[in-house]
Structure 1
Amino acid sequence: MSETERLAVGALVSVLALVAPGFLLHEAPRFPGSLVGSLLGIAGATLFVLLLAYSLVKRSAWVRARATGHVSMRGVLSFHVYTGVVGALLGILHSGHKYQSPLGVALVAAMLVVVLSGFVGRYYLAQVGTDLREQQVSLGLLRARYDLLAAGRAAAGAQPLIGSSTGVSGRDLRRLVGAIADLEYAIARREVIKRALSRWTVLHVAAALVLYPLLALHIWNGVYFGLRWLP
């Protein structure tokens, strides 16, 4: 993942997180059924339907063989990510912050879970894994440095490490001990976070399985009860 892509998606998710609770400051009950509101809803629903393209490409060898001749899997995944975030943002704008219908509330909740779980898995968890590997490499280097200095002091007949406060090598060793302890603590915390978030795919797929029936029901509901902006 590129840094530009991560920052762009992070900014969109931040905007989504700020817009979603906008009902605290603003509410437009008639906006969802207006022409502009309906167009936003149609655009958002269309984008969420297009999200299924990634699943088809990923799970169908026949589709993947034909799609990857024109675009890479990385490109398909990037399209999937951006489409999901923009589609959710359009869906929130379409709602006019009118969170009164149980169906609408459930749809918004499922939509947010899909987007946020996807963001966690695609970017945050990947970054945690990268940071963890870098910290483990640094820890290995610090331990090797400690062993080298400790062996040198032992060969020179030095006093035990922690009890001695004299000599530059003694101070160096104590600094290494502190740095190793801090890094081990940081690694342990990141491993806990990684284990806690490692099942993000289950949540992401489960929320999507809830989202699409709710979306279909919401569309049917809107068509059945009529669109106010039609003549």
Structure 2
Amino acid sequence: MKRERTIMVSMLILQLILWLGFLVHQSPRFAGSLTGGILAITAALLMIVPPLLYSATKRIPFFKEKITKRISMGTLLTWHVYTSIVGAILAILHTGHRFESNLGIWLTVMMMLTVLSGFTGRYFLSYSSKEVNEKQAELNLLATQYNQLINEIGKQPESGASHVVSNNLISRAFNSFVGTQGIATDPKSLLSHRALLLTESIADLEYAIKTHELLKRRTARWLKIHIITSSAFYILLILHIWSAIYFGLRYLR
């Protein structure tokens, strides 16, 4: 996951650099050239086919039953992530940095927002889910240890009163001299001290789990944003393809 995240961040940076290329370069005729057309068709296929295949497999039981027998959902999601960002890079190259029409500008904006929201939802949601699972497992382990300690404490005999008084007087005198807090030496007190430390660790883990669950819920909103931007992007893409075909055919006449 770390290696994949590094690759994706690098590709996002490349996409941003290519997009900012319009500041130093513009090629008005490149988008309509043969090379530009090939880039456009390839980009459209990469950004349409794998995402729609993943969405259909995820939401339609019939597709899910048939496709997941050969290809796992994780593999489909990985294809969706990589093909989308590669398609976005090819689409920016296709433009030739000519951002003049409102349709082209909004299409580019929606494309970049879709890629960014998908990346955020994919990796931050996975990270928060992984953190919650790991901390929950650690919490269960500490809770088991705490219950075992409580049982051991219940089996320990009570210490003699004279011994406790003597020990407390010596401890207090020593602690008042050196300025420290003494720790009892009888087995039951040692077990109680360990149980106290465990309760502190359990409380810290419970707080951390709540924090990560809050982060997970907030990150889940990015998936909703991703769906919204994706829908807007596909609508604009259809309009862009229709206008290219319509005006292109009219030009040939």
TM range (shorter): 0.7 to 0.9
Distance 1:63 1:101 in 2: 38
Identity %, equivalent residues = 42
Moved over 3 A (4+): 131-145, 157-160, 163-169, 179-195
1:156-214 residue CA offsets vs partner (Å, 9 max, x unmatched): x8899xx9556799xxxxxxxxx999989977765554343221221111111111111
- 1:38 maps to 2:60: no
- Counterpart in the other structure of 1:197: 219
- Counterpart in the other structure of 2:243: 221
1:121-169 residue CA offsets vs partner (Å, 9 max, x unmatched): 1112211332355467778999999xx9xxxxxxxx8899xx9556799
- 1:210 maps to 2:232: yes
1:199–1:49 CA distance, 2 compared to 1 (3 A): same
Partner AA of 1:54 in structure 2: Y
- Counterpart in the other structure of 2:159: none
User: How far apart are 1:17 and its partner, in Å?
Assistant: 2.7
**Contact kept? 2:124, 2:219, Cα under 8 Å:** no
1:25-174 → structure 2 map (5 Å cutoff):
25-50=24-49, 51-134=51-134, 165=180
- Counterpart in the other structure of 1:174: none
Decide which structure has the larger Cα Rg and report it.
Answer: 2
Higher-helix-fraction structure: 2
Distance 1:182 1:24 in 2: 50
More deviation, 30-39/8-17: 8-17
**What SS does structure 2 have at the residue aligned with 1:71?**
coil
The Cα RMSD (Å) is: 3.8
1:222–1:182 CA distance, 2 compared to 1 (3 A): same
**Contact kept? 2:43, 2:90, Cα under 8 Å:** yes
Distance 1:126 1:27 in 2: 39
More deviation, 109-118/185-194: 185-194
Partner AA of 1:126 in structure 2: S
Q: So what's the TM-score if we normalise by structure 1?
A: 0.73
**What SS does structure 2 have at the residue aligned with 1:99?**
coil
- Counterpart in the other structure of 2:13: 14
**What SS does structure 2 have at the residue aligned with 1:226?**
helix
Distance 1:144 1:62 in 2: 43
- Counterpart in the other structure of 1:175: none
Partner AA of 2:129 in structure 1: G
1:76-116 residue CA offsets vs partner (Å, 9 max, x unmatched): 11111111111111111111222221101111111112111
Distance 2:59 2:138 in 1: 38
1:93–1:186 CA distance, 2 compared to 1 (3 A): farther
Partner AA of 2:234 in structure 1: Y
User: How far apart are 1:20 and its partner, in Å?
Assistant: 2.2
Q: Aligned pair count? A: 220
Distance 1:185 1:31 in 2: 56
1:30–1:59 CA distance, 2 compared to 1 (3 A): same
For structure 1, which runs of at least 5 residues remain unmatched after alignment? 149-156, 170-178
Q: So what's the TM-score if we normalise by structure 2?
A: 0.67
Partner AA of 1:197 in structure 2: T
- Counterpart in the other structure of 1:172: none
